Amino acid sequence: MNYQELYVVCQIEDFSLKLMVNNYVNNQIQVLYKERIENEQFAENGVIINTITTGNSLRNMIDKINKTLNINVQRIVLSLPSNNLKIYQSQAMMDFKDDNHIITNADCSKVIDMAKNIIIDSSEVVCLTKPYSFKFNNEKSSEQLPIGLKGQVLNVDALVYSLPKTLYSSQLEVLKNAQVDLLTVTLDQFALACNINNNNNIVLIDWNLNSTKISVFNNSVLYATTKIKIGWNQIIQALMKQMSCDYDKAKKYLQKIININSNYLCDIVVDKYLNEHNQEICLTKSDLQTTVQNQINEIITCIEYFLDEVSNNNSSEMEVICTGITVGLAGFANYFKNHSKLSIIKYMLNQNLGAYSYNWTSLIGVTHYQHLVNVFNNNMISSVNALSILPKTNHHRLPQNNETKKYNSPNFPSYQYNGNSK
């Protein structure tokens, strides 16, 4: 039977609401629709300020999608912000009381689900459980799911991730107010990591609007993360103060004039008289460059300190992958390479037609994630019920039972989400 993997994916950040319709075809993503609203504040530190207003905005976007593509969107895949994320160590064990019991997919899912039953603060909610090691009959542990093996006792080691309950519930409340169901949720950092083919011992640095997030992965397991409260806007604000100008002018200088790695910066670019202070401002490109460099340097220092803490001073050997708006600064790549002790630095770039901008990187990753969830579960759950808007030649056939074994690994996102999957 042919299936069409049509996913509507959504991300609500503090200052943006993004929605995409993606079709997963032959291991590639077709972008059918995308829209971004960023002229207002939707959330504060990930918590939605007004769930009714934001829900209405999302509903309007969905109505446009339905009209444009002639579909009826019922379910959305939601990417949650990892603000104030906490990570807990957990273990679980199942005794089948039968030496000849053969481990199944359902057994593995059940023991992973058991691992999320930990004691956390009442202000938190478990949003994700990620297994990283399995042991069967007390034999040597393995990262692979022991499906098909025969024995009695199954153990799992896992990391459990929690978010503030206010953040989690407010994001889901938006979907309720938009009159759309939740298909699946994932975390923004996991979504970004889904764009990486090899996430073995990597550092993901998300240079964002109001913060810089650092996430350390090993075999797809996020085991350390932090957030630096300096981002694109804070760099612009530093220039605004230096130049005594508004946001738009400082942004223009940052994007069009300043190269943070150039040595040819002697000419005056700002020359104005301030009546209220009775003084003249004469600033060169070098002056402005130094201001931006100071902000970048502070972020680099925080990154290096954090990585030394979590990697036993071996951070220089880790592969660093950068994404986000700040990496688009002129001269950024060379400056970051020359002014940090991190040696293996790469950049995450979208190669999907129609979604080259960093703005869509996370939602492209969410689409990859949802495809993997469907393959692991060997079923097909789309964002719509009537799968008829594209030709049958574009339909993607899900693997049959004997084709799914290669996915039976903790690297594959069989994550547990509070029973919210539809």
Mapped to the 3 state alphabet, what secondary structure does the chain carry? CCECEEEEEEEEECCEEEEEEEEEECCEEEEEEEEEECCCCCEECCEECCHHHHHHHHHHHHHHHHHHHCCCECEEEEEECCCCCEEEEEEEEEECCCCCCECCHHHHHHHHHHHCCCCCCCCEEEEEEEEEEEEECCCCCECCCCCCCECCEEEEEEEEEEEEHHHHHHHHHHHHHCCCEEEEEEEHHHHHHCCCCCCCCEEEEEECCCCEEEEEEECCEEEEEEEECCCHHHHHHHHHHHHCCCHHHHHHHHHHCCCCCCCCCCCEEEEEEECCCCEEEEEEHHHHHHHHHHHHHHHHHHHHHHHHHHHCCCHHHCEEEEEEHHHHCCCHHHHHHHCCCCCEEEECCCCCCCCCCHHHHHHHHHHHHHHHHHHHHCCCCCCECCCCCCCHHHCECCCCHHHCHHHCCCCCCCCCCCCCCC
Task: Give the pLDDT of residue 415.
Answer: 46
- Residue 182 is predicted with a pLDDT of 94
Q: With bands split at pLDDT 50, 70 and 90, how would you rate the model's confidence at 298?
A: very high
Position 408 pLDDT exceeds 60: no
**pLDDT tens across 142-178, in order?**
777 788 888 899 999 999 999 999 999 999 999 999 9
Q: Is 75 exposed, middle or buried (0-12, 13-18, 19+ CB in 10 A)?
A: buried
Better pLDDT: 165 or 130: 165
- From residue 192, alpha-carbon distances to 136, 283, 369 in Å are 32, 39, 10
Residue (of 351, 411, 408) closest to 28 by Cα position: 351
pLDDT tens-digit series, residues 66-99: 999 999 999 999 999 998 999 999 999 999 998 8
Identify which has the larger pLDDT, 369 or 62.
62
pLDDT of residue 418 exceeding 70: no
Per-residue pLDDT at 269 exceeds 80: no
Burial 169-205 (b: 16+ CB within 10 A, else e): ebbbebbebbebebbbbbbbbbbbbbbbeebeebbbb
Residue 311 banded pLDDT, cuts 50, 70, 90: confident
Q: Is 70 exceeded by the pLDDT of residue 390?
A: no
Going by pLDDT thresholds of 50, 70 and 90, the confidence category of residue 218 is confident
With 60 as the cut, is the pLDDT of residue 256 above it?
Answer: yes
Q: What domains does the chain contain, in order, with CATH numbers?
A: 5-82+166-195+352-407 (3.30.420.40), 86-164 (3.30.1490.110), 196-349 (3.30.420.40)
pTM: 0.83
Q: Supply the Cα-derived Rg of the chain in whole angstroms.
A: 24
Q: What is the mean pLDDT of residues 374-385?
A: 78
Percent of the chain with pLDDT over 70: 84
Amino acid at 254: L
Whole-number average pLDDT of the chain: 84
CA atoms within 13 A of residue 21's CA, in its CB half-sphere:
23
**For the ranges 54-58, 87-91, 373-377, which has the lowest average pLDDT?**
373-377
The number of beta carbons lying within 10 Å of the beta carbon of residue 330 is 16
pLDDT of residue 400: 42
Total residue count of the chain as it appears in this document: 422
The string of pLDDT tens digits covering residues 221-253 is 899 999 999 999 999 999 999 988 899 999 999
CB 224 within 8 A of CB 215: yes
pLDDT of residue 359: 85
pLDDT classification of 350: cutoffs 50, 70, 90: low
pLDDT band at 401 (very low <50, low <70, confident <90, very high): very low
